[in-house]
Structure 1
Amino acid sequence: ITAALRNSLGVSVNHKCVQRLMKEMGLRALIRARKRSRHVPEISDVHVLNVLKRNFCAKAPNEKWATDITEFNVNGQKLYLSACMDLYNGEIIA
């Protein structure tokens, strides 16, 4: 609200003043809901052997690869990014 007042009206307003006035009027900012866990307790996860055993250093290229999946919410759609990195030199392979 402070930024909106500054941008639209050109009025310099302290954020603490805006916060105090909002509290007096009973106004609150909308906060995004937390994501719920989708884990089903009755179904166990597949157990995978710990091959690396926290040894993330490789002695040769293409010896050890690591990957991670990141979820983005863009225009109401879920997009996923999966990067594959060679642990020898930190190069992104895919």
Structure 2
Amino acid sequence: MTDRTITLSADGTQLVCESRHRNLLEVFEHHKVDVEYQCREGYCGSCRMRLVSGAVEYSEKPLAFIAQGDVLPCCCLPVGDIEVEF
């Protein structure tokens, strides 16, 4: 798998998602981007964010409801380059 670029729509920051990353949340943590999440405390859905462009795939079926255009970074990876808003 090749590296993918994640663009943060608020300021245009670009992050690299490497093949070693297991999910988008791990990418954000690696780059020290402050993302709200509580999945490690048992609450699913708090990391929800808007996918502006691109596509993701889920490694497992999310427990939380996902509205059209939203993603849960704790359990997905980009298919190619993406842009997100949170």
TM-score range, shorter chain: under 0.3
TM-score with structure 2 length normalisation?
0.18
For the pair shown, which has the larger CA radius of gyration, 1 or 2? Answer: 1
**Which has more strand, going by share of residues?**
2
